[in-house]
Structure 1
Amino acid sequence: MVEPSLSADDVKALIRSRQYVGFLLLSAVVGLVASLVAWSFLTLTPWIQEAVFDDLPGQLGFDAPPRWWPIPILALAGLITALAITRLPGRGGSIPADGFGSGPPTRYVDLPGVILAGLATLGLGLVLGPSSPVIAIGAGLGLLVVHLVRKNAPNHALMVMSAAGSCAAFAMVFRSPMVSAIVILEALGLSGTLVPVVLLPSLIGAGIGSIVYLGLGDLTGLSVDAYALYPLELADMGDLTAAQIVWTIPLAVVVAAAVFVVVTVGRRIARIVAPRQLVWLPVVGIGVAVLAILFTRTGETSYTVLFSGSKALAPIVERGPALPLATLAWLVVLKGAAWSLSMGAFRGGAVFPAIFLGTVGGLMAERLPGLPAGAAVAIVMAAAVVSALRLPLSSVVITNRSGVGRRCAGRDPRRDLGGRRVHRDRPDLRPSGRRRTRCRSRVTNARRFVRLWP
């Protein structure tokens, strides 16, 4: 979408006009619609994961998922995603390797392809997160609402409603209207005069999305916590030391170089698979499955390499100090390679894989002299996220949202490294029974809403 050209005087007149009041009212409608659809998408995705990777093997007579189980599943994911890309409008959304917010604007006619490709990619185990599909869903629904209200709407109206829809949908992922608005507005890269026009409708849409997150979870008993980013329980960073400062620059350079390699390979893969999607995407899916199976040679489950990594964050942080350095290194290498393959061929977001790999890299870096876990994870995670997204402010906000280095950790959805079935079959992966450090007052519904704001 071409950024509309408005002078400072035009912006002032627009904000004071009745038309802008209509924008604000319409942004609330867009926020409600976008958040409802995003909530449904984020609820359906983990249901597909559990049905395919936990329940289906048992229904087929296996006592536990066989080691080769990811191979046919990820091949099927490649076939479905290829059909969505080649047979439906919009080519399934933007290519993750091209960067966050790349590609043309999502039209409402593109939504079926975006949703199908996203569900196949995320639900069937590829190493991508929900950020890009959810943002595309919100943008497309924003344009749809504008089209239903006024077919020949001006460009600035389309931009405002598209941003409001994206903020509302993305707020379902991070449960924070402020984080959502910061990420979307930085990704849009608007000029100074347009920021005031887009900011308030975007915040309204994001706020509506956060309210829907709370309300639907309480009403239905379902939630989108599979992709929620809770504060990680790490040792406090303590006072800033010279050692932490000294280690920051070389660690950031190494992480940035590694992510650059991952993204560059992903872009090359995207060019290779583009001419024959129906052939190459199942092959790439099988390649990701093989990488996951190779990780089982360390004694861990293949599910740790698969998926976005959101569910495995808390368990890997808890077990990190006890895991051998070689296991963590193999996890970074294999999941990084799987991430590169996924971002070149499939459709999804880069946020959660970057967070997970940054966390694992930080757990490796904490073994350096003078570098506590809180500082190490903060350094590596921030470097990984900013290298993947190329959005510096958003990367700092997302890293801060993870709560690295905080003393008072929030709710922790304690799970095993790969999924519920492995949790039942591997008692050694079960979390300890020690009580979590909690904030003093109990969380009421009112405080739950307040905690949405950073």
Structure 2
Amino acid sequence: MTDPAPHEPASGGQDADNRPMSLRTMLLLSIPAVLIGVGSAVVLWLLDLAAQWLQDVLWETLPGVFGATGETWWWIILMLTLVGLAIGLIVQFAPGHAGPDSATTELSGPPPKVVVVPSLAVTVIIGLAGGVSLGPENPIMAINAALSVALVARITTRIPLSLIVLLSSAATIGALFGTPVAGALIFPGMVAAVRGGGSLWDKLFLPLAAGGAGAVTMLLLGGDPIGFSLEPMGPFQPGYLLWGSLVAIAAALVVVLAAWVFPFVHRAFHALKHPVIFTTLGGLLLGVLGVLGTPETMFKGLEQAGTLLTHPEDYSAWQLALFAGVKAVALLVAASAGFRGGRIFPIVFIGVAFGLLANALFPGIPLSLAVACAVMGMTIAATRDGWIAIFVAMALVGDLPVLPLLCLIILPTWLVVTRAPELLIHRRAVDPRPEWA
């Protein structure tokens, strides 16, 4: 490919010398942006395909061989314990050690070395298939970033690392959530770059190209978009702002409490030193939680959230509270015990259960508003990113009149969470230890 320009672009649409990127440069760079988008979606699709195949084997085929089902209590405990053991062995002994501890990583960060990719991919597939309460988002973003950097570096050295990672991250978010706009807006560098002059749309051009290509490719491959149709909110009433704010803030505080507990749980597991030990123990505890909360509280949570939203009348307030509580504990255990995975998908399930609980306890709150506010509150508390929180909440409920309310309700919610503990383990707070720890 022809090198795009004599200047290295420092962000999505700006040259390194702080001048707006030329039209020619944007057109040339749109080629790798689209290719990165397509490639990121294909990698995600392949990972999902492998995980789904293994899940069918572990939870549908094998149980029948032993006279059980996927819901038999001892099978749940046995399977998750073995999943923990398998992941612990990979983390401790495999080349690359499945990358850094996911509890210490954000959605977008420095790409790992390519040697990490095989062990990280296998670990994520086993975790997704085995019922671990984590999503694929952090690992798949790391995998796509590593592969994109390695492949682009073989073609040209004129595209900077930061831009490749940005495009890969936007593409993966587009493929994961079907929200390429959120993928283009979540990076602080995009907003900061506006100060350098030029149009915002110039700066969003390349991330949108990558995110859009990722989302469209995932749809073409048959990926399921995040989207449901709940009972519409109906005519606006002034009280909805107050009720929505209370639901969003209460949901956010649940995540804040989890974030406060997170370092203690993480430290307790890692005090056992060896991943084979603490990840196996984590798997055992996840199995017990799976029995207590039923299989609805297992796995990454998106499919299970869809089940709750499709038939909300089938669940009592007590069941919804149980689902939310067990899933929250399972998320803390999985994230603390060395499993590799993201926290957004389980958070979405907890938010759905919490929103349905709010509607069950206070029927005056419209169902779509309650769910959207709960999901938004929990997501912004977990990610500290309002764009993803709003887009995911809207995608779930599919009720457009809720959007302007969310744009107002998110403001007091942000004030509550902005200085609160993050759902993240900062490495500076962790004792020095081998990479796999």
2:92 aligned residue:
86
Check if 1:109 corresponds to 2:133. Answer: no
How big is the shift at 1:310?
1.0
Q: Which amino acid aligns with 1:389?
A: T
CA distance in 1, matches of 2:18, 2:109: 31
How big is the shift at 1:371?
1.2
1:450 aligned residue:
none
How big is the shift at 1:174?
2.2
Structure 2 gap ranges (5+): 1-8, 402-437
Contact in 2 for aligned 1:234/1:406 (Cα 8 Å) = no
1:268 aligned residue:
264
**RMSD of equivalent CA atoms:** 3.0
2:297 aligned residue:
305
1:423 aligned residue:
none
Structure 1 gap ranges (5+): 218-222, 296-301, 408-454
Q: 1:206 aligns with which of 211, 215, 223?
A: 211
Contact in 1 for aligned 2:11/2:190 (Cα 8 Å) = no
How big is the shift at 1:279?
0.5
How big is the shift at 1:319?
3.1
TM-score if structure 2 supplies the norm length?
0.79
Q: Which amino acid aligns with 2:289?
A: L
Deviations 1:234-278 (A, max 9, x none): 221123323322223333332222112223333333333333211
CA distance in 2, matches of 1:315, 1:58: 24
How big is the shift at 1:168?
2.4
Label 1:141 to 1:6 Cα distance change in 2 as closer, same or farther (>3 A).
Answer: closer
Contact in 2 for aligned 1:97/1:266 (Cα 8 Å) = no
How big is the shift at 1:78?
1.6
1:352 aligned residue:
345
1:53-452 matches, cutoff 5 A: 53-62=59-68, 65-88=71-94, 91-98=97-104, 100-101=106-107, 104-150=110-156, 153=157, 157-183=160-186, 185=187, 191-192=193-194, 199-215=204-220, 217=221, 223-225=222-224, 228-231=225-228, 233-274=229-270, 275-295=273-293, 302-345=294-337, 346-366=339-359, 367-368=361-362, 370-405=364-399
Deviations 1:116-135 (A, max 9, x none): 22112211111111211221
1:444 aligned residue:
none
Residue correspondences, number: 386
Q: 2:57 aligns with which of 51, 54, 61?
A: 51
Q: Which amino acid aligns with 1:262?
A: A
CA distance in 1, matches of 2:377, 2:69: 41
Deviations 1:387-446 (A, max 9, x none): 111111221111111135359xxxxxxxxxxxxxxxxxxxxxxxxxxxxxxxxxxxxxxx
CA distance in 1, matches of 2:171, 2:12: 25
CA distance in 1, matches of 2:346, 2:219: 25
Contact in 2 for aligned 1:97/1:267 (Cα 8 Å) = no
Contact in 1 for aligned 2:44/2:140 (Cα 8 Å) = yes
1:430 aligned residue:
none
TM-score if structure 1 supplies the norm length?
0.76
Bigger drift between 334-343 and 51-60 goes to 51-60
What is the identity percentage for the equivalent residue pairs of Structure 1 and Structure 2? 24
Contact in 1 for aligned 2:373/2:393 (Cα 8 Å) = no
How big is the shift at 1:42?
1.7
Label 1:187 to 1:7 Cα distance change in 2 as closer, same or farther (>3 A).
Answer: closer
Label 1:188 to 1:46 Cα distance change in 2 as closer, same or farther (>3 A).
Answer: farther
Label 1:90 to 1:268 Cα distance change in 2 as closer, same or farther (>3 A).
Answer: farther
Q: Which amino acid aligns with 1:160?
A: L
CA distance in 2, matches of 1:64, 1:138: 32
